[in-house]
Amino acid sequence: MRYLPQTEADQRVMLAKVGAKSVEALFKDVPEAARLKTPLDLPDHQGEIEVERHLRALAAVNVSAGDAPFFVGAGAYRHHVPASVDALIQRGEFLTSYTPYQPEIAQGTLQVLFEFQTQVALLTGMEVANASMYDGPTGCAEAVLMARRVTGRKRAILSGGLHPHYRDATVTVTRFLDMEIDARAPDPSAREDLAAKIDSDTACVVVQNPSVFGQLRDLTALADACHAKGALLIAVVTEVVSLGAVTPPGAMGADIVVAEGQGLGNALNFGGPYLGLFAAREKFLRTMPGRLCGETVDADGRRGYVLTLSTREQHIRREKATSNICTNSGLCALAFTIHVALLGEEGMTRLARINHERAGALAKRLERVKGVKLVNDSFFNEITVTLTKPATAVVSALAKLPILAGVPASRLFPERAELANHLILAATELTTDADIEALAVALEKELAA
């Protein structure tokens, strides 16, 4: 009984230790109405071979991202991850998801985190960065809370170009706080006037660049408008590879930058685990959430690395903490750091250039497909098009070929009927000319049917 070790005799001993007469007695505080009256409709236990067969059958139902032309993005991107990344992160010295607490035995891991923070600060154009967050959406919520601490204000304006997962995470985290979340309507055109919405109660404006629809925008004027009213500008980046080509948010005046780091070093992994990048102006250092790794010297004057300014609820009084996040995505951050180090500055720029070129080729080819209209007037590696049919039906039809043709906007914004025909497509360095041609031909046939 390798996986179910408790015999009836074991249970009797355990119950006697805790002073309970039966297993049912352990649940006496659960209201009767909340208890199941019959067992769940689940199959009985099986042997290991049978379970493996069942899981293989389930896996066979899926189309792997690498087994078909793949244009899915909308916050998670398929990039090439060098084999050396996995080889290094699986070394025993590194294979943990946690930030080390004992600096005297973890100098290597701490140095990696210090390098990671340096990379994030350079990529985002900011002055300081922390040692990673859980992921982009929770990082966005933490940034809004940080803006509240900095400004003492309670209103946050969320752009209509912000990914709904980031919006929803922010709404959830702030739900029971005295905060007003002004989430604007989805905006495929990127023409919303956020500056006009800023008032004396506004703590921050949150804007994504490129937007969830792929639109690029210059944030400089918006940053100036925020600062004129005493508010902070929070810039969100879901495609971190874009920072190799696009002007970094810090250079455009952002006060806090939140990004999803999955695109470098980390595979799609069915949606996680990912890692959140978080950077800010140095003057806001002590209000940042999470952990920071710092460089110091020991008693003998030798360089060393330590955790510093870790104002989490584990370390100080709960009500004084800047964050309730109790760990970080350390292993994912390590993978990110290795990938960026392998690329170097020149490689990062070249990778971004290739991504943009691939998206350009995709846009150019789709514009020749009857029934397809490009929405974007600017983009990095992600575009939005409108179709003459509902995008969900088209994507489902193409998946049978199989071609994974992108993300219907209605999947992200089911409440917005006007987006039913909008389709969001991403292209990366892994997108070939043959992939693009296969998609275009399939779309033409499906839209003409």
Domain count along the chain:
2
333 pLDDT above the threshold of 90: yes
3-state secondary structure of 389: coil
Q: Is residue 20 part of a domain?
A: no
Over range 175-192, report the average pLDDT: 94
Over range 15-36, report the average pLDDT: 92
Same domain, 386 and 250: no
Q: CA 103, CA 108: separation in Å to the nearest integer? A: 9
User: Is residue 421 within 8 Å of 389, Cβ to Cβ?
Assistant: yes
Confidence of residue 315 (pLDDT cuts 50, 70, 90): low
Residue 371, Ramachandran bin (φ over 0: left; ψ between -120 and 50: alpha; else beta)? left
Of the candidates 306, 340, 374, which is a domain's last residue?
340
Same domain, 294 and 411: no
Task: Report the residue count for the chain.
Answer: 449
- We report the CATH number of the domain holding residue 397 as 3.90.1150.10
Q: CA 299, CA 264: separation in Å to the nearest integer? A: 37
Same domain, 390 and 325: no
Q: Is residue 77 part of a domain?
A: no
Over range 355-366, report the average pLDDT: 98
Same domain, 297 and 443: no
Distance of CA 193 to the CA centre of its chain: 26
CB atoms within 10 A of CB 202: 23
Among 401, 370, 398, 365, residue whose Cα is nearest residue 383: 365
State the pLDDT at residue 51: 92
110, two tokens = 């701490």
Same domain, 264 and 364: no
211 pLDDT above the threshold of 80: yes
Over range 151-158, report the average pLDDT: 97
Amino acid in the structure at residue 132: S
Of the candidates 312, 340, 368, which is a domain's last residue?
340
Confidence of residue 314 (pLDDT cuts 50, 70, 90): low
CA atoms in the 13 A half-sphere facing the CB of 13: 5
With tokens 């990048």, the residue in question is 277
Over range 315-322, report the average pLDDT: 65
Same domain, 327 and 359: no
State the pLDDT at residue 93: 82
Distance of CA 91 to the CA centre of its chain: 25
Burial 415-429 (b: 16+ CB within 10 A, else e): eeeebbbbbbbbbbb
Over range 101-121, report the average pLDDT: 89
Confidence of residue 312 (pLDDT cuts 50, 70, 90): low
276 pLDDT above the threshold of 70: yes
User: Is residue 256 within 8 Å of 170, Cβ to Cβ?
Assistant: no
Confidence of residue 266 (pLDDT cuts 50, 70, 90): very high
Confidence of residue 309 (pLDDT cuts 50, 70, 90): confident
Same domain, 388 and 320: no
Q: What is the mean pLDDT of the chain?
A: 93
Q: CA 44, CA 7: separation in Å to the nearest integer? A: 18
- We report the CATH number of the domain holding residue 198 as 3.40.640.10
Distances (CA, A) of 222 to 162, 219, 243, 412: 15, 5, 19, 26
Q: Is residue 41 part of a domain?
A: no
Least trusted range by pLDDT, from 52-61, 97-106, 217-226, 340-349: 97-106
> What is the extent of the structural domain holding 408?
346-448
Q: What are the φ and ψ backbone dihedral angles of 108, each rounded to 5 degrees?
A: -65, -45
Q: CA 12, CA 9: separation in Å to the nearest integer? A: 5
Sign of CA dihedral 197, 198, 204, 208: positive
Same domain, 332 and 351: no
Amino acid in the structure at residue 233: L
3-state secondary structure of 161: coil
79 pLDDT above the threshold of 50: yes
Same domain, 264 and 279: yes
**In the chain, pLDDT over 70 holds for what percent of residues?**
95
With tokens 């903490």, the residue in question is 321
172 pLDDT above the threshold of 90: yes
Strands 276-280, 292-297: pairing kind: unpaired
Q: Is residue 233 part of a domain?
A: yes
Confidence of residue 206 (pLDDT cuts 50, 70, 90): very high
305 forms beta bridges with 295
Q: What single-letter DSSP state applies at residue 332? A: H
1 pLDDT above the threshold of 50: no
Enter the pTM of the model. Answer: 0.89
Same domain, 124 and 182: yes
Q: What single-letter DSSP state applies at residue 404? A: B
Q: Is residue 61 part of a domain?
A: no
Q: CA 205, CA 250: separation in Å to the nearest integer? A: 15
Of the candidates 315, 340, 365, which is a domain's last residue?
340
Residue 309, Ramachandran bin (φ over 0: left; ψ between -120 and 50: alpha; else beta)? left
Same domain, 417 and 282: no
State the pLDDT at residue 316: 56
Same domain, 231 and 274: yes
Q: CA 102, CA 100: separation in Å to the nearest integer? A: 6
Q: Is residue 265 part of a domain?
A: yes
Q: What are the φ and ψ backbone dihedral angles of 128, each rounded to 5 degrees?
A: -140, 150
Among 207, 191, 204, residue whose Cα is nearest residue 159: 207
State the pLDDT at residue 311: 57
State the pLDDT at residue 5: 72
Q: Is residue 63 part of a domain?
A: no
Q: Is residue 10 part of a domain?
A: no
For 381-421, what is each residue's pLDDT tens digit?
999 999 999 999 999 999 999 999 999 999 999 999 999 99
Distances (CA, A) of 104 to 101, 110, 274, 329: 9, 10, 28, 21
**In the chain, pLDDT over 90 holds for what percent of residues?**
78
